Amino acid sequence: GDSVTQMEGPVTLSEEAFLTINCTYTATGYPSLFWYVQYPGEGLQLLLKATKADDKGSNKGFEATYRKETTSFHLEKGSVQVSDSAVYFCALSPSNTGKLIFGQGTTLQVKP
């Protein structure tokens, strides 16, 4: 079945460091891909998404490109801030279902 695999955390970075969180997926058809972020004590929020191959989603300085050839959707940010500390979830939605299948989440801790 469809699945999402994220890199194990936690990831600890200093402020202004470059961030990459790897995400790969297995799916039939043409899924949409998402990154969600969960700040402490809050619900998951959509960070960015891409709906077809080679699309780049971006928001708040974060970017991810839908790579069908490598079945990947890695999250990147050029310069992280302490306020980016959160849990990040990669997810896919199989074609025409509206459902979400999540990776296990990666905790990011940014230190001043």
Partner 1 sequence: GAVVSQHPSRVICKSGTSVKIECRSLDFQATTMFWYRQFPKKSLMLMATSNEGSKATYEQGVEKDKFLINHASLTLSTLTVTSAHPEDSSFYICSARAGEWGNEQFFGPGTRLTVL
**Interface residues with partner 1 (CB under 8 A)?**
4, 36, 41-46, 89, 96-105
Our CB check for partner 1 shows the closer of 17 and 71 to be 71
Count CA atoms within 13 Å of residue 51 on its CB side: 3
Q: How far is CA 109 from CA 40, 51, 56, in A?
A: 12, 29, 25
Our CB check for partner 1 shows the closer of 17 and 59 to be 59
Our CB check for partner 1 shows the closer of 14 and 104 to be 104
Our CB check for partner 1 shows the closer of 36 and 62 to be 36
Task: Give the shortest CB-61-to-partner 1 separation in angstroms.
Answer: 18
| Beta carbons within 8 Å of 26's beta carbon, 6+ residues apart | 2, 3, 4, 5, 71
Task: Give the shortest CB-112-to-partner 1 separation in angstroms.
Answer: 26
Contacts 24+ apart (CB under 8 A), 49-58: 57/33
Task: Give the shortest CB-15-to-partner 1 separation in angstroms.
Answer: 26
